[in-house]
Structure 1
Amino acid sequence: MAGWIRRIYLRFGAPVVLIGISFMTALLMFGFLYDTMSTDTYEVELFQLSEETIRAAKTVEDPVRTELERERAAAEVQPSYRYIEEIADNQAAVVDSLFGYVLEAKRATETDGEDEPDPLSSDEALSSLRESIRLLEQNENGLRLTDDMLLSLLALEEDVLMRVEREVRNQVLAVLQDPLREAGLTQARNSAEQEIRGDDQVPASAIPAAAAIARANIVPNELINEELTEQQKDQARASVEPTRILQGQVLIQEGQLIDREVYRQLELAGMTEQQSNYRPALALSLFVLIAAGLLLLVLQSAKVEGVKKAIRLTIVFVVFALSLAIMKLLEIISGNFGVVIDFIYPTALAGILVRLLIDERTAVYVTILLSASAGMMLQSGYAGVFQMDSALYVLFGGLTGIYLIRNGHRSIRILPISLAVGGVHLLYVAFYLLMNQSQYTVEEIAFYVAAALAAGLLSGTLATGLLPLFEVAFGILSTMKLLELSNPNHPLLKKILTETPGTYHHSVMVANLSDAACEAIGANGLLARVGCYYHDIGKTINPQFFIENQSHGNPHDHLSPEQSRDIILAHGKDGAAILRKQKMPKELIDIAEQHHGTTLLKFFYYKAKEQNEELPEEQYRYTGPKPQSREIAIIMVADSLEAAVRSMQSPSTEKIRKMVDSITEDKLKDGQFDECDITLKELKRVKSVMCETLNGIFHSRIAYPDDKK
């Protein structure tokens, strides 16, 4: 698989491959989630009998019913009234004005002297009076005075007219001194008319006119407060909860007539085939677009070469496919159970796999994305709803698995991690059962407890079983694989220990130095440690020619510089060949091949140069390649340092520091770090850590007194 991805990457380039795999991941998520997000539709027709019982697939608000309920609540609000004292005085003033017009018209029909204008006739006075009270009659209070009524008033003596005015005015004020609403208006007017008809101060001829004037000027003085009433109606409308069609609610039974109301509810729930159901697809497209884009950004920011990014993205794609397939299986079979079986989902599987195969940050993002997918897919059969309880269950379980691996990455034990994940599951299940506030039987509680523990164990079991498959398929050197290779019982390590014990001890010392330095700068310390165990395995071919394995003289004393050179330079290539033959990971092969880079074999070069001054350095340099990673660069420095410090007489802190500076500076000036991404700041930190480690190993010892003295 890794070789296939590499070939595609080299053929099409990084942008095409990375975007292509991201697009495939988006399609994968869309395919798995679409059925869950989309709503089932039915072929129904208005006024036909339903062929089956139809339930609402999702909870939706019914705006028509909601509006009807709100208007009903508003209609039930009793109006608020406001009493206006000024109305009584205003109406009394109207009475005074009307009788004033009558009095003016009456006086116009009379003359008191020669200088006065000619008196008006009765018809002229009536016409003038009618014109004067025209505006009053147009008032909505209903004042309507006939010609006979007006003539009856004009016929009265002035003092009688004033008395009638007073009686009408007093009657209006008497009625309006108390609050009067529209509902009691007719009764109040009738009562006032009865009072006038029984009043002996009002002549019989003037009673109809007086009664009409009184009735017209008795108006409501307690009016509806429109603003306050409307506010109360708005409050009543707002207090009405939206009417909803609930998920699972029966919209129509089999055999019932599909009337307009039922058809409207089916349309509202998006369950008729006539509707274009594009919204779920559009929403899901936006979700997977965001998810795939962020995934690409997360992997793009990793400090690895492009083809490794493609391999990592492919791993995420496969892990996603596996995880979503398990979710889909649970979704399909969930309807056959009376309990929520989602709790058996192996929440930590994806996180553990991605953490061990790629890195922690990517594992966290994958877990978050899977939890969101679980919230949409693991919904116990309900479409178009996000289940927060399922999402949180997957999130908490997945993060637990990831961070427990981080805290114990040197001794990964899947069983304790699985049990810890199961423990977190149990706590969450307890939270879930308490929050639901439902009654559960002992059998149901036992099922949930067993499912929570099983999900944790299933996560670890599946991760353990699938990890070797991923390692083989993608050529990944995982943490678990490194721990397996670090076992002293590994055949190759046994070979080094038995055939070259000095080299084995040297490798362990170099491993300690490299591990500490790598951890200090954020490199892979475990890879460096295990790589050091195997980096000198090529020395097992000619062990006696390497100083750490020599106990009876140095055989190089009897060889020419050229022969010695060939033996020493060959151990890197020989080691890589041995590791390739044993199908060891490429990372370890690279360490064996690159840990000397193209450095010069100085001792034998200068020895040979004594015989040939024109001897080119290239003949006595390792063939490389130079270190391609920070880990190998650190191993190169540690390898040289360990041998140099071990050969020192009475090593002190200052001597060790100078040796570390000298060797590191020599490698740097020789260009051995040119092809890896280690920085000068990181090299400074590496030197500091190596000085501390070497001082701990080669510290001064106390001179104990001799008992014989």
Structure 2
Amino acid sequence: MKKRTSIEHVGWWKKVKNQRYIRILLYVLLAVVLYVSMLGNVIPDTYEVSLSSVAEEDIRSPVTVENKAETESKYQEALNSVDPVYVHKSDYAQNQVEKVNDVFELVEQVRTEEVLTIDGETVTDPQIEDQLSYIQEILSSGSNRGLSEESVETYLDATDSQLQIARETVKNAVYESMSRVIALDDISSARDEVAEKLALTSVNQRLYEAMLETARISITANYLYDDEATEELRQEMVQSIEPVMISEGQLIVKEGEIINHAVYEQLRLAGLLDDTFNPFPYIGLALFVLLIVGTLAYYFKEANTTLQNNNSHLLMYVLIFLVTVVVMKSISLLENLDIASLELIVPAAVGSMLITSLIHFRVGLMTSMMFALVASVIFNHGAVGTLNFTTGVYILFSCFAGAFFLGKDNRIVRILQAGLFVSLINIITITALHMMKGGFGSWFDYGTAISFAFISGFFAAVLTLGLMPFFETGFGILSRTKLIELSSPNHPLLRKILLEAPGTYHHSVMVANLADSACEAIGAHGLLARVGAYYHDIGKTRRPHFFIENQMKIDNPHNKISPQLSKTIIISHPYDGSKMLKEYKMPKEIIDIAEQHHGTSLLKYFYFKANEQSQQKVPESQFRYPGPKAQFKESAIVGIADCIEAAVRSMTKPTPDKIEQLVKKIIRERLEDGQFDECDLTLKELDLIAKSICETLQGTFHSRIEYPEEGKNKGKNKGGKE
């Protein structure tokens, strides 16, 4: 009977599936579909509006953006409102008094000097003209360059007492005037005031004029503009000004309002005018999709799952992901119907449930997070911003619920129960989210929301049940349902074993029991090992009588042929079985178990027999199975159970101690022979396997009481006495 062909047996796929570019193409396909499905949700709507036109609807900003023109205007207003900072330089009074004192000291010094250097020439016994020139030269290099020759000459002609009075009077007048605040505009009045103070001095007119000139040029502004303080104040004012922002979701213009220049500029900045092209949403979405696909690719590369190197499973994963996204997108298109909470009906959990059942639980959890991110973009209609976080969180918990509840059990009843669990989690999630926002608008809205949330879980379970057989068949996935189907005694190959090699059938059932319990002990796939054990010796049906378990009441045919020929017959059965299983399109794992259960072990009986009959030592390599060795735990465990079952069956009067010693011996020999080198069994797991097999065998070969023969007991029990 031919089975429907999975993609693993399709010729063109078998040729290209292991090519590296296929893996890249699958990721590209996923990225392209994600990009196309979300593109319409990230490109903001544009409006055909003009200045002075009337808004036909409420328009809100899809982004947060700064209105730089308004911000700059606010900055200028703030700067213009800052008054200049002026500072009273109180030390200027003493400085100016010292300058007055310097003038008089210079005059006194010149009057007593007998030698002066004027313009680089030395003058001895200087005259009044020489003294005047010298003083003018000195004063011209300082800050009192405004003092006239007449005033200097007056000071030179004055007596010592007059000069002393002039000095003290001018100093006092200047200090008194400069002690008050003098702004630039107040200099003239301050100089007039100092003239009044000097007018009270009893000196001649000529000296008074010189004193007045000296005092006037010494009066200067001491209330000056502080550039540093003013700039600091301006900076503080600017920093206190908040930028003018157009917030995401902000109402720019209401329906019926006139669009003025300010509103038009805000629409332009928000990218809502149809005459502008903003490339950033396209680039941003591309990066977003790259992050999603890149994260998945890295996770699949590092995680210990079939997606790490099985491109067929990766193709199935991509198809499941895309089916889920298409379902999301289809429901999002119905949002134009204005049905409240319609997005809650999306059965996103179908993706996580299918991936959990068909691939791996951890992959289902990882994908749940990706579904939440995609859904938050696809269902952003009416949301403030690009992401609808409420829907994203709802989808996240919905997918998590399906993956957690389903786990590794994908029985039909379990899937239906998972759907109910998803519905319950959906209702709790949506209730929590809306209560955090302040509650629903009405009981009707709440009832609608929880109804959609419940239907979402139901749809997820129905879709999972409907789609799973297609993926199982199309990709040769060994789901629990598929394994149970293969374990049916009515399967053609199992019936073939039962009818043509009954001893092998019984042996296979025993091996299945041992392998199943051993796998369960270490957390491996017990049902896979059981079903694999059922078929592992299917190759013996080619020549059943050459195997001892089928030699009932007949001579052993190996006694009549050479060890080399016996070896060839015995060693061929794993590969004959593999070929038969392939003809029936059996799952790859079952074929691998049949082909690997003997690994490269030595056919000891015929090897020793050949050495006995040969003059020269026969190489071991001629009597070893060609392999391959066990590549996964279930295959290795079936090989252990196969060897142990045959060995225990040949024991006479097996006891628990004998069985335990034999089990440990066989496992140790296979370990030392390197039969576990290519699978990831640990020493601790081998110990657990040995204990489990011993317990199972002790239950099978337990001691039984001997029942007395009926004839002997009749006489003894006659009369009701022993």
TM-score, normalised by the number of residues in structure 2: 0.71
| Structure 1 position 119 matched with structure 2 position 107 | no
* SS of structure 1 residue aligned to 2:433: helix
Alignment equivalent of 2:95, drawn from 81, 90, 113: 90
* SS of structure 2 residue aligned to 1:379: coil
What is the alpha-carbon distance in structure 2 between the residues aligned to residue 171 and residue 437 of structure 1?
79
| Structure 1 position 226 matched with structure 2 position 225 | no
What is the alpha-carbon distance in structure 2 between the residues aligned to residue 132 and residue 621 of structure 1?
120
* SS of structure 2 residue aligned to 1:635: helix
Tell me by how many angstroms 1:15 deviates: 0.9
Contact in 1 for aligned 2:532/2:590 (Cα 8 Å): yes
For 1:190, the equivalent position in structure 2 comes to 189
Moved more, 584-593 or 415-424: 584-593
Structure 1 runs not aligned, ≥5 long: 109-114, 139-143, 549-553
Equivalent residues in 2 for 1:487-498, closer than 5 Å: none
Contact in 1 for aligned 2:100/2:218 (Cα 8 Å): no
For 1:556, the equivalent position in structure 2 comes to 552
What is the alpha-carbon distance in structure 2 between the residues aligned to residue 450 and residue 659 of structure 1?
62
For 1:111, the equivalent position in structure 2 comes to none
Letter in 2 for 1:356: S
Tell me by how many angstroms 1:365 deviates: 3.2
Tell me by how many angstroms 1:94 deviates: 3.5
For 2:661, the equivalent position in structure 1 comes to 658
The verdict on how the C-alpha distance between 1:660 and 1:442 changes in structure 2, with shifts beyond 3 A counting, is same
For 2:139, the equivalent position in structure 1 comes to 132
Letter in 2 for 1:88: A
| Structure 1 position 61 matched with structure 2 position 66 | yes
What is the alpha-carbon distance in structure 1 between the residues aligned to residue 411 and residue 187 of structure 2?
99
The superposition leaves residues 19-73 of structure 1 with CA deviations (integer Å, 9 ceiling, x where unpaired) of 221222222222223333334456788x796997765332222333334434544
Letter in 1 for 2:698: F
Contact in 2 for aligned 1:397/1:425 (Cα 8 Å): yes
Contact in 2 for aligned 1:411/1:483 (Cα 8 Å): no
Tell me by how many angstroms 1:545 deviates: 12
What is the alpha-carbon distance in structure 1 between the residues aligned to residue 129 and residue 512 of structure 2?
135
For 1:332, the equivalent position in structure 2 comes to 333
Moved more, 459-468 or 125-134: 125-134
Equivalent residues in 2 for 1:603-618, closer than 5 Å: none
| Structure 1 position 31 matched with structure 2 position 36 | yes
The verdict on how the C-alpha distance between 1:591 and 1:704 changes in structure 2, with shifts beyond 3 A counting, is closer
For 1:173, the equivalent position in structure 2 comes to 175
What is the alpha-carbon distance in structure 1 between the residues aligned to residue 571 and residue 9 of structure 2?
37
The verdict on how the C-alpha distance between 1:664 and 1:187 changes in structure 2, with shifts beyond 3 A counting, is same
Contact in 2 for aligned 1:348/1:401 (Cα 8 Å): yes
What is the alpha-carbon distance in structure 2 between the residues aligned to residue 100 and residue 509 of structure 1?
129
For 2:710, the equivalent position in structure 1 comes to none
What is the alpha-carbon distance in structure 2 between the residues aligned to residue 73 and residue 525 of structure 1?
77
| Structure 1 position 635 matched with structure 2 position 638 | yes
The verdict on how the C-alpha distance between 1:600 and 1:136 changes in structure 2, with shifts beyond 3 A counting, is closer
* SS of structure 2 residue aligned to 1:557: coil
For 1:112, the equivalent position in structure 2 comes to none
What is the alpha-carbon distance in structure 2 between the residues aligned to residue 506 and residue 133 of structure 1?
127
| Structure 1 position 356 matched with structure 2 position 380 | no
* SS of structure 2 residue aligned to 1:413: helix
Contact in 2 for aligned 1:520/1:689 (Cα 8 Å): yes
Moved more, 491-500 or 34-43: 491-500
Contact in 2 for aligned 1:656/1:691 (Cα 8 Å): no
What is the alpha-carbon distance in structure 2 between the residues aligned to residue 528 and residue 230 of structure 1?
83
Structure 2 runs not aligned, ≥5 long: 1-5, 114-123, 561-565, 708-720
Equivalent residues in 2 for 1:39-438, closer than 5 Å: 39-40=44-45, 55-73=60-78, 76=81, 84-97=89-102, 117-120=126-129, 132=139, 136=143, 166=168, 169-174=171-176, 176-177=178-179, 180=181, 182=183, 186=185, 190=189, 193-194=192-193, 196-197=195-196, 200-201=199-200, 210=212, 213=215, 217-221=219-223, 224=226, 226=228, 230-249=231-250, 259=261, 265-271=266-272, 277-300=278-301, 309-334=310-335, 336-337=337-338, 339=340, 341-381=342-382, 385-406=386-407, 413-433=414-434, 435-436=436-437
The superposition leaves residues 506-535 of structure 1 with CA deviations (integer Å, 9 ceiling, x where unpaired) of 666533432343356664333213444566
Contact in 2 for aligned 1:637/1:664 (Cα 8 Å): yes
Q: CA RMSD in A?
A: 6.0
What is the alpha-carbon distance in structure 1 between the residues aligned to residue 430 and residue 383 of structure 2?
20
The verdict on how the C-alpha distance between 1:609 and 1:4 changes in structure 2, with shifts beyond 3 A counting, is closer
* SS of structure 2 residue aligned to 1:346: coil
Letter in 1 for 2:311: A
Moved more, 95-104 or 620-629: 620-629
The verdict on how the C-alpha distance between 1:128 and 1:172 changes in structure 2, with shifts beyond 3 A counting, is closer
The verdict on how the C-alpha distance between 1:305 and 1:137 changes in structure 2, with shifts beyond 3 A counting, is same
For 1:526, the equivalent position in structure 2 comes to 527
The verdict on how the C-alpha distance between 1:158 and 1:201 changes in structure 2, with shifts beyond 3 A counting, is farther
The superposition leaves residues 444-490 of structure 1 with CA deviations (integer Å, 9 ceiling, x where unpaired) of 4444444444434433332222212221222222245445666x898
Moved more, 533-542 or 419-428: 533-542
Letter in 1 for 2:189: N
* SS of structure 2 residue aligned to 1:678: coil
What is the alpha-carbon distance in structure 1 between the residues aligned to residue 174 and residue 299 of structure 2?
87
Equivalent residues in 2 for 1:579-594, closer than 5 Å: 585=587, 587-588=589-590
What is the alpha-carbon distance in structure 1 between the residues aligned to residue 538 and residue 473 of structure 2?
23
For 2:518, the equivalent position in structure 1 comes to 517
Tell me by how many angstroms 1:319 deviates: 1.8
Contact in 1 for aligned 2:249/2:385 (Cα 8 Å): no
Contact in 2 for aligned 1:197/1:207 (Cα 8 Å): no
Letter in 1 for 2:222: P
Tell me by how many angstroms 1:698 deviates: 0.6
Tell me by how many angstroms 1:10 deviates: 0.9
The verdict on how the C-alpha distance between 1:446 and 1:255 changes in structure 2, with shifts beyond 3 A counting, is closer
Tell me by how many angstroms 1:189 deviates: 6.1
Tell me by how many angstroms 1:160 deviates: 6.9
Tell me by how many angstroms 1:321 deviates: 1.4
TM-score, normalised by the number of residues in structure 1: 0.72
The superposition leaves residues 416-471 of structure 1 with CA deviations (integer Å, 9 ceiling, x where unpaired) of 43344444444543553355458744444444444444434433332222212221
Tell me by how many angstroms 1:280 deviates: 3.2
Letter in 2 for 1:698: Q
The verdict on how the C-alpha distance between 1:159 and 1:63 changes in structure 2, with shifts beyond 3 A counting, is farther
Tell me by how many angstroms 1:245 deviates: 1.9
Letter in 2 for 1:655: K
What is the alpha-carbon distance in structure 2 between the residues aligned to residue 598 and residue 198 of structure 1?
125
Equivalent residues in 2 for 1:439-454, closer than 5 Å: 440-454=441-455
Contact in 1 for aligned 2:483/2:531 (Cα 8 Å): yes
For 1:692, the equivalent position in structure 2 comes to 692
Tell me by how many angstroms 1:329 deviates: 3.0
Contact in 1 for aligned 2:86/2:223 (Cα 8 Å): no
Alignment equivalent of 1:7, drawn from 6, 12, 34: 12
The superposition leaves residues 208-239 of structure 1 with CA deviations (integer Å, 9 ceiling, x where unpaired) of 98499458624235763725x54554444334
The verdict on how the C-alpha distance between 1:599 and 1:71 changes in structure 2, with shifts beyond 3 A counting, is same
* SS of structure 2 residue aligned to 1:556: coil
What percentage of residue pairs aligned between the two structures are identical?
Answer: 30
Letter in 1 for 2:459: L
For 2:459, the equivalent position in structure 1 comes to 458
Contact in 2 for aligned 1:300/1:309 (Cα 8 Å): no
Letter in 2 for 1:201: L
For 1:141, the equivalent position in structure 2 comes to none
